[in-house]
Amino acid sequence: MIFALPARAKLNLNLEVLGRSADGFHDLRTTFQAVALHDLLEVEPAKETTFTTSGLRVSAESNSVLVAQQALESAAKRPLPARIHLDKRIPSGSGMGGASSDAATTLRALKTMHTLDIDLAPIARELGSDVPFFLRGGRAHAEGRGERLTPLADESAWFAIAWPGIELSTADVYRAWDELKGEGQNHLRRAAEHVEPSLKEFAASLGPGWQMTGSGSAFYTPINNEQEGRHAIGKLDCWTALTRAVGAWA
């Protein structure tokens, strides 16, 4: 039996960085919104683990999928072999949480396939700040590193997304924030533009109403419908997508 699960992207509808905590991480407040745009993860039983990819370029070594599998194996105290294929559709380094979503989806798929009686939440928290959100999805208010979640009621929404092909390092952006701080709807935008100056020109080319998600480098704008979205992205010379908000899946 093959388990085929979408690993959905997220958008940050707002993002406020409150400061650096004693453990070296940054405290934030944000609203996550899961969207229909997704990677596709296929998992099936196997005698030993193999991992392949297709779609957008992504590293197969130390990939978040394999890191998640190893973490779950450690918690289960036994091997959890599987044939795993990742069709990558969410750009890496775009601020849409693709790697975190892949990790969370791997945990869910392997838990089901191997019928494990394990709480995934603690494992997700160790894997990354956004990973706990992707165990459930939907819409949520997040605090701390992003792991303290308060589910919110689903809201119907459509979004146009534009990505300039720039892969930003989250760690680099937060280091820049330590120096520059931030303001506005996304406190990390100034820092992201400092790390990659061409991002400021890209944002200006999009026009008003576009907002950066996460630590960048993708931008999005709310739209009323697909037709309006096609008009919004029609003249853009970059990777684009039209997507809608999706509710919780767990």
pLDDT tens string 59-108 = 877 899 999 999 999 999 999 999 999 999 999 999 999 999 999 999 99
In this structure, how many other beta carbons lie within 10 angstroms of the beta carbon of residue 185? 12
pLDDT computed for residue 1 by the predictor: 86
Domain that holds residue 209: 158-244
Question: Would you state the pLDDT for residue 60?
Answer: 77
Are residues 13 and 97 both part of a single domain? yes
pLDDT digits (tens, 9 = 90+) for 55-69: 999 887 789 999 999
* Domain boundary pick from 117, 136, 152: 152
According to DSSP H, which parts of 140-188 are helical? 170-180
Q: How far apart are CA 42 and CA 20, in angstroms?
A: 38
Q: Is residue 46 part of a domain?
A: yes
Task: Cis check for the bond before 92: say yes or no (omega within 30 of 0).
Answer: no
**Which residues form the catalytic set?**
10, 130
Q: Give the pair of three-digit tokens for residue 202.
A: 């890209």
pLDDT of 227 reads 92
The reported pTM is 0.96
**pLDDT at site 21:** 82
Same domain for 143 and 88:
yes
Q: What share of the chain is helix, strand, coil (3-state, %, to 5)?
A: 30, 35, 35
Pick the residue with more confidence: 1 or 189?
189
Confidence of residue 159 (pLDDT cuts 50, 70, 90): very high
CATH number, domain with residue 188: 3.30.70.890
pLDDT value, residue 179: 95
CA angle at 92 for the pair 88 and 98, rounded to the nearest 5°: 65
Rounded to 10 degrees, the C-alpha dihedral 137/73/40/49 comes to 180
- The yes-or-no verdict on residue 22 having pLDDT over 80 is no
**Location of structure tokens 């009686």:** 117
The size of the chain, in residues, is: 250
Q: Are residues 67 and 94 in the same domain?
A: yes
Do residues 96 and 214 touch, judged by C-beta distance below 8 A? Answer: yes
Long-range CB pairs of 228-236 (<8 Å, 24+ gap) are: 228/158, 229/158, 229/159, 229/160, 232/160, 233/160, 233/162, 236/162, 236/205, 236/206
Per-residue pLDDT, 69: 98
pLDDT tier, 47 (very low <50, low <70, confident <90, very high otherwise): very high
Confidence band, pLDDT 50/70/90 cuts, at residue 24: confident
Q: Measure the N-to-C terminal CA separation of the chain; round to a whole number of Å.
A: 21
Residues 112 and 173 in one domain: no
Cβ atoms 63, 69 nearer than 8 A: no
Residue 126 placed within a domain: yes
pLDDT tops 90 at residue 132:
yes
Looking at the structure, tell me whether residues 78 and 114 fall in a common domain. Answer: yes
Residue 56, pLDDT score: 96
Give the mean pLDDT of the chain: 96
Kindly state the tokens that stand for 74: 């450690």
Q: What is the pLDDT of residue 9?
A: 98
Give the pLDDT of residue 201. 97
- When divided into structural domains, the chain yields a total of 2
Q: Which of 218, 186, 191 is closest to 202 using CA atoms?
A: 218
Residue 23 pLDDT more than 90?
no
